[in-house]
Amino acid sequence: MPSQTGPSQGGPSRTRPTLSRAEVAHLARLARITLTDAELDRLVPQLDVILAAVARVGEVAAADIPPTSHALPLTNVLRPDVVRPSLPAAAALGGAPAVEDGRFRVPRILDDAEAADG
Amino acid sequence: MTDSYEDVLTRFEPVIGLETHVELATASKLFCGCATAFGAEPNTQVCPTCLGLPGSLPVTNRAAIEYTMRIGLALHCTVASWCRFARKNYFYPDMPKDFQISQYDEPLCIEGYLDVEVGSDEGARTVRVPIERVHLEEDTGKSLHVGGATGRIAGATHSLVDYNRAGIPLVEIVTKPVEGAGAEVAKAYVTELRDLLRGLGVSDVRMEQGSLRCDVNVSLRRPGEPYGTRTETKNLNSLRSVERSVRFEVERQAALLEAGVRIVQETRHFEESSGSTASGRSKEEAQDYRYFPEPDLVPLAPAPDWVAEIRSSLPEPPSAARRRLAAEHGFSGLDMAQMGGAGVLDLVAATVAAGAPAAEARSWWLSYLAQQANERGTDPAELPITPAQLAEVIGLVGAGTLTNKLARSVVDGVLAGEGEPAEVIAGRGLAVVSDDGALGAAVDAAIAGAPDVAEKVRAGKVAAAGALVGAVMKATRGQADAARVRELVMAKLSPAE
């Protein structure tokens, strides 16, 4: 499964991760972005450079520096369980391209191939 | 040719795994202040945060974290000293943000168990169901699929989405594989879990409203072999469905295996009407959610004293409550077996815990409510009345506010969705007239209307008072408490002191 060998799992942090053309195409598909062959030719090396730049951060991180996912040195930012006013339905639906029966109307979810399986 | 469930069990060992989703009964959503009440008009409990509008940011609800820890601790889990929410990325209109905030490799609670009792001809045996994790996530919106057959997504021309449910805190409880466990264990586990959650006060656990729903994994193996390929039946929303779907999957898989056909790992849906499961949408591409730590939320690090405080506030577990119930209220072995068989033991226990006398609680659940459940083709626990509501009604009978007959009418009203007992009483005009002022006036009128009778009572002919009591009952259209009326009549007509 290509997805399990994504950029974040490229082995030890000192190893420079690389991104294959197939992985970029896969990520584009997941993000619903259509990429032409020409765009892949251009973007694969560019993303590789970006990853290499990010990987340099790993080089300065010594064993005594724990990995972090947040810039703020905070934990447990919580609010009390108190109800606050919601938007009026008209406002909530106001920005929707289509509305029906007070609900957001969205296009068909399954395409024909998927629907045939259902 | 399909062998019966019992036949299959002589040749195969089923292995089950359950994922249970529980909507928490917090007042507000997990990451915003929108209300969580069930049944509101569509898209009236939404705000920029749960609609995923640009610039909005989530802030975690403290009660949801506490409830999740309560559940984890009650399931003998360890609470993580540090964990994070994760962003689960996917495109599907039930989440307007295009991602769901969930927990991935750092669940809040890990490694616990739940002991469940399974009845059999040889008596009850206890099965320990190992719990892998308990994590917290936000629920998704609700989609209506339009234009296809019977609301199915396949063949629909478009869908309509209501985001009231999006962002309601949802706890997922995942078991490890339970070996040698079939339909009875699956049902017993969900039943025990539901009773435990109800006792914890963290969810209203209404399966028919979707606040408790189950996915059940089933596989078969021959004794001594490694696990077989499993299927996952999604979104089971009643105890019966849990049991029936497992029975069906065991029989279906056994028939395939006997015929030398491989089991396909897939998602299946349970069809309530036929009692069978059907293959769901098969996905060519494996799901790839690209989880990463949620950047908009800082980590959770429950301090040991916070965890200890929650642990010390846990109520008695239902299994212990059952033992105590029998001992304290003198329920006989037969009583316990009757209540257990009718699936009302924990309801009786919860009703007693909510303040009702044991005999009344037992009688209500075993007779009137069991009958109502039977008429509706559902389990008593799935009736839309809570033990607390019933205890309230029983309390009102005890206080003389309701007669038994009126109490049944109040219960009918609650079952019919007319609201809390007090609302039903007000709505249906059911309260026994016990207000002494109003009753006093009726008593005075009755005495004035029958001076000869009143005179007899004054003279000591107590039996004559019955005519006056009857007149008052008539005047109050039967909604007065006769005993109280008699007291008032006697007080008014007592020989002058």
Answer whether B56 touches A (CB < 8 Å).
Answer: no
Answer whether B92 touches A (CB < 8 Å).
Answer: yes
**Interface touch B62/A109, C-beta < 8 Å:** no
Q: What is the mean pLDDT of residues B191-200?
A: 90
| Residue carrying the six token digits 């609470």 | B79
Tokens of B57: 């940011």
Sequence length of chain A is: 118
Residues of B in contact with A72 (CB under 8 A): 298
Give me the percent of chain A exceeding a pLDDT of 70.
79
Tokens of B211: 């606040």
Taking the C-alpha atoms of residue B42 and residue A105, their distance in angstroms, rounded to an integer, is 12
Tally DSSP H helices, then E strands, for chain A.
4, 3
Phi-psi region of B460 (alpha: psi -120 to 50; beta: other; left: phi over 0): left
Taking the C-alpha atoms of residue B351 and residue B344, their distance in angstroms, rounded to an integer, is 10
Of A32, A82, A108, the CB nearest to B156: A108
- pLDDT category at B283 given cuts 50, 70, 90 is low
pLDDT by residue (tens digit) across B26-41? Answer: 999 999 999 999 889 9
**Interface touch B27/A82, C-beta < 8 Å:** yes
Of the candidates A87, A38, A20, the one whose C-alpha atom is nearest the C-alpha of residue B46 is: A87
Q: Which of residues 268-327 of B touch A (CB under 8 A)?
A: 279-282, 286, 288, 290, 292-293, 295, 297-302
**Which CB contacts under 8 angstroms, 24+ apart, belong to A50-55?**
A51/A7, A51/A16, A51/A17, A51/A18, A51/A19, A52/A16, A55/A13, A55/A16, A55/A17
Q: Reduced to 3 states, what is the DSSP secondary structure of residue A105?
A: strand
Give me the percent of chain B exceeding a pLDDT of 70.
94
**Interface touch B157/A101, C-beta < 8 Å:** no
Q: Which of residues 328-347 of B touch A (CB under 8 A)?
A: none
Q: Which of residues 163-192 of B touch A (CB under 8 A)?
A: 163
CA angle (A53 as vertex; A47, A56 as ends), nearest 5: 140
Chain A: residue whose CA lies nearest to B160: A105
Q: Which residues contact B144 (CB under 8 A, 6 or more apart)?
A: A103, B151, B159, B160, B161, B162
Of the candidates B15, B20, B19, B21, the one whose C-alpha atom is nearest the C-alpha of residue B230 is: B15
Q: What is the mean pLDDT of residues B428-447?
A: 76
Q: Report the pLDDT value the prediction gives residue B440, as an integer from 0 to 100.
A: 78
**Interface touch B159/A82, C-beta < 8 Å:** no
Taking the C-alpha atoms of residue A76 and residue A79, their distance in angstroms, rounded to an integer, is 9
* CA atoms lying within 13 Å on the CB side of residue B73: 22
The more confident residue out of B55 and B465 is B55
Minimum mean pLDDT range among A95-109, B14-28, B472-486: B472-486
- pLDDT category at B281 given cuts 50, 70, 90 is low
Residues of B in contact with A114 (CB under 8 A): 154, 281
**Interface touch A118/B62, C-beta < 8 Å:** no
**Interface touch A74/B280, C-beta < 8 Å:** no
Of A80, A84, A100, the CB nearest to B160: A100
Q: What is the mean pLDDT of residues B255-281?
A: 87
Has residue B484 got a pLDDT over 80? no
Chain B: residue whose CA lies nearest to A3: B288
Residues of B in contact with A3 (CB under 8 A): 286, 288, 290
Classify the C-alpha dihedral A91-A93-A96-A99 as positive or negative. negative
Tokens of B206: 């209404």
Calculate the CA A16 to chain-centre distance.
21
Q: Report the pLDDT value the prediction gives residue A118, as an integer from 0 to 100.
A: 35
Residues of B in contact with A85 (CB under 8 A): 33
Chain A: residue whose CA lies nearest to B24: A81
**Interface touch A84/B82, C-beta < 8 Å:** no
User: pTM of the entire structure?
Assistant: 0.73
Residues of A in contact with B30 (CB under 8 A): none
Calculate the CA B48 to chain-centre distance.
30
Q: Specify which of B21-30, B121-130, B177-186 reaches the highest per-range mean pLDDT.
A: B21-30
Answer whether B65 touches A (CB < 8 Å).
Answer: yes
Chain A: residue whose CA lies nearest to B147: A108
Residues of B in contact with A8 (CB under 8 A): 292
Residues of A in contact with B282 (CB under 8 A): 117
Of B63, B82, B159, the CB nearest to A106: B159
pLDDT by residue (tens digit) across B85-140? Answer: 999 998 889 999 999 999 999 999 999 999 998 876 566 688 999 999 999 999 99
Q: Looking at the complex, report in whole angstroms how far the Cα of residue B142 sits from the nearest Cα belonging to chain A.
A: 10
Q: Looking at the complex, report in whole angstroms how far the Cα of residue A42 sits from the nearest Cα belonging to chain B.
A: 24
Residues of B in contact with A68 (CB under 8 A): none
Of B51, B92, B298, the CB nearest to A70: B298
Could you tell me the domains of chain B? 5-310 (no CATH), 316-428 (no CATH), 436-492 (1.10.10)
**Interface touch A30/B286, C-beta < 8 Å:** no
- ipTM of the complex model: 0.78
Q: Report the pLDDT value the prediction gives residue B497, as an integer from 0 to 100.
A: 44
Residues of B in contact with A32 (CB under 8 A): 91
Answer whether B497 touches A (CB < 8 Å).
Answer: no
Has residue B233 got a pLDDT over 90? yes
Q: Which of B28, B29, B36, B43 to mutate to test the interface with A (most CBs of A within 10 A)?
A: B43
Has residue A7 got a pLDDT over 90? no
**Interface touch B153/A110, C-beta < 8 Å:** yes
Of B28, B60, B288, the CB nearest to A82: B28
Residues of B in contact with A117 (CB under 8 A): 154, 279, 281-282
pLDDT by residue (tens digit) across A27-71? Answer: 898 888 999 999 999 999 998 888 888 888 878 877 787 777 788
Has residue B341 got a pLDDT over 80? no
Has residue B25 got a pLDDT over 80? yes
Q: Looking at the complex, report in whole angstroms how far the Cα of residue B108 sits from the nearest Cα belonging to chain A.
A: 13
Helices (H), chain A: 21-30, 37-60, 89-94, 112-117
Calculate the CA B124 to chain-centre distance.
24
